[in-house]
Structures are given as C-alpha cells and as structure tokens.
Amino acid sequence: MAEIRKDLLRDNWVVIATSRAVRPTDLPVPSQGRAEKVQGFCPFCEGNEGFTPPEIMVNRKPGTAENGPGWTIRTIPNKYTAFSLQTEFATGVNGIYSYMTGFGAHEVIIETPEHDVELHQQPAEKIAEVFEMLKRRHLDLAKNEKIKYIQTYKNKGLFAGASLGHSHMQIVALPYVPDELKGLRTYAQTIGNCLICDMLKQDIRDPARLVLESENFIVMCPYAARFAYETWIVPKKHALNFGDITEEQIPELAGLIKKVLAAMVDLLNDPSYNLVINTSPVNVENGPETHWFIEIFPRLIVQAGLEIATGYYMNLISPEWAAETLKEKISQISG
C-alpha cells in the first residue's frame, strides 16, 4: 500500500509506503556511515593544519599559535570548491544558454581536533559550541551585501557525500536565492500564512508524527518525508534566520540534535546522513521569507533513476512509523 503525498515545501510529490512490509534493516544500504582516512592521512586532524588553507575563525586554547595545534573548532576555506569571493559576480547569455560566474564562499567547520569522534558522540556542550560557531559564521558572511543566501550543511558518511571521515560541517554563501523551498513562497502568497507555522499547528493537534518537544523547538517527521526517518527540528515561534537563534536556545538545540542523531545511529546501524539548516535569504528586501529549521535525513537508499528523472522520491518507511520508533529509541537511550 502506498500514499502519494504532496510535499508543500518543495511543491512536489512523495510516494510513501503506508504498510509496514519493509523493515529498516531490509533497506539495501543500512550502514557505511564512516569514510576512512585516505592512506592513513587526514588534513583535518590536529597537527596537520599546514595541509589546509589558513583558518578564517577558530576557537583555540590561550597561548596557542594561529594555524597550529591547540584549537577546539576550526573554520577554513573549502579547498575543493567552485566558489570564491574573489570572483566578480556576473551573469551572461550565450544563445539559448545562460550562466553565472562562481562568486560565493565555501567554508568547512572542523568540529573537533579528534579524528574518530562523531557529532552525536560529543557532549551537548560541545555540540552547542559547534552551533555557536555556525551562527557566528552565518552572521559574518551575511555582512557581505552581495551575499543573498547562506546554506549550512553536514554530509556524514560515504552515501551522504562525505569524502573525509573527520567530523565537519560546511557553509556555502551565494549571491542568489535557490529555488528549493518555493512551496513556502507560494503558500505565503496564496494562503497568507507561514507554511511551517501552519504545519506545526496541525501536527501538534494531530501528534502522530511528533518525536520530541522542548521549550522552544519541535522535533517531528514531516508528512511528505522524502527519506526514511527524515526528521525536522523546528523553532516553535516564527523566526526567519538561523542567525537569529538566541544564546539560550543554542544549548537546547544542541541537546535535541544529540538525542535525534544518537537514536538514528543506534536504530539504523550508523547510517550516512545529511543535516541541513534551511533559513531565509539575507540582504534581500521583501525576499522570499522562510521559517528557519533543520532537516536531518539518513541516506539508507542511494537515490536513483526515478528521483533523478521525475523529482519524485519514494519513501518505504512512513513518517508516522519513523516518529514512533525514533521516540521509542530516544526514551530508551535517555531512560
């Protein structure tokens, strides 16, 4: 049995299996969460700072020298990128084809000097330190008025696109706003409300997909989840930008991220996953506004022909079932 559900956010459709015929352990790629060191070497490990570009922003122990050991979190430019702030932003047309130059920033946030510690294994205070750094980078990049959109994300494991096993996140800052969340704009223009606020209202009333609730955040599996166990962490109060997160909210968010990731890792046998922060554009007057939120999606199945050709995702674990099992796992782990 399946239900084809409308993904309001992306203005698309998702095929959701509503039966429980497929167990999570039946999925073809249950694991492979870790990328190994390439020939035993890792440029993100402490002591190898000389193998990366110079640091942009860093938390380091007093008395330690720049670009040397002694740091706790380190932000550097991504060496392998198409974007540079030194490139002039321009657009052009060539017959029926159009293009833009690669103006933008691409940074890597190395979360820890230790090679083998994953984000969820860190104490919540350390995860909070990582998210404080992400906020500082967001605000700093937004100071450049040419930057219109800041995308923060994490690729963990081979099937999520991570080429290095050392735990890190990335930020891309762009001079234009991507079209990915166009459903939010359409909803606001036609209904007049924030789609995310309306989703929260309905899902709190009918809590089949709720996983956790804290003072300021809701953890839920969305109605039209594209990925099995896709989970969102959403601020309860309407807030446009991730950069607006308060100092008090960061430790609360860090605690939730630790719980959700630890439950996923335990339940799904250390899966590859992506974590992305969706946020409103910056430096745009009356731009398409978003209610910022975090999406986490385990990459249990390599997306293939159907998704690439039609844009339709197929999800074999219903979000209601995913929410139920995640909730159970979280209470087991914390209890």
Among this protein's residues, is 168 annotated catalytic? yes
Determine if 42 is a binding residue for Zn ion (CB under 5 A): yes
- The nearer residue to Zn ion, 27 or 45, going by C-beta atoms, is 45
- Packing angle, helices 182-191 and 195-205, rounded to 10: 80
* Residue 115 touching Zn ion (CB under 5 A): yes
Residue 72 CB, shortest distance to Zn ion, in Å, is 14
The count of chain residues that interact with Zn ion, using the rule CB under 5 A, is: 10
Q: Is 291 in the site for Zn ion (CB under 5 A)?
A: yes
Q: Which of 106, 138, 168, 291 is catalytic?
A: 168
Task: Report the nearest approach of Zn ion to the CB of residue 83 (Å).
Answer: 24
Report if residue 166 touches Zn ion, rule: CB under 5 A. yes
Contact 255, 214 (CB under 8 A): yes
The stretch among 52-60, 88-96, 170-178, 196-204 that binds Zn ion (CB under 5 A) is: 196-204
**How many whole angstroms separate alpha carbon 188 and alpha carbon 308?**
28
Which DSSP string corresponds to 36-92?
Answer: PPBTTB-TTSTT-GGGSPPPSEEEE-TTPPTTSS-EEEEEEE-SS-S-BTTSPP-EE
Q: What are phi and psi of 246, to 5 degrees?
A: -85, 160
Judged by CB under 5 A, the residue of 58, 108, 162, 196 near Zn ion is 196
**Side-chain half-sphere of 143: how many Cα atoms within 13 Å?**
6
CA-to-CA separations, 183 to 123, 212, 309, in angstroms, rounded: 36, 25, 20
**245 token code pair:** 């997160």
Under the binding rule (CB under 5 A), the answer on residue 275 touching Zn ion is no
CA-to-CA separations, 137 to 33, 74, 151, 296, 304, in angstroms, rounded: 27, 11, 11, 21, 34
Question: Contact between 135 and Zn ion (CB under 5 A)?
Answer: no
Shortest CB 240 distance to Zn ion, Å: 8
**35 touching Zn ion, by CB under 5 A:** no
Q: Which of 194, 210, 240, 276 binds Zn ion (CB under 5 A)?
A: 194
Beta carbon nearer to Zn ion, 45 or 245? 45
**Cross-strand partners of 98:** 93
> Which one among 33, 44, 147, 315 touches Zn ion, defined by CB under 5 A?
44
User: Site residues (CB under 5 A) for Zn ion?
Assistant: 42, 44-45, 115, 166, 194, 196-197, 238, 291
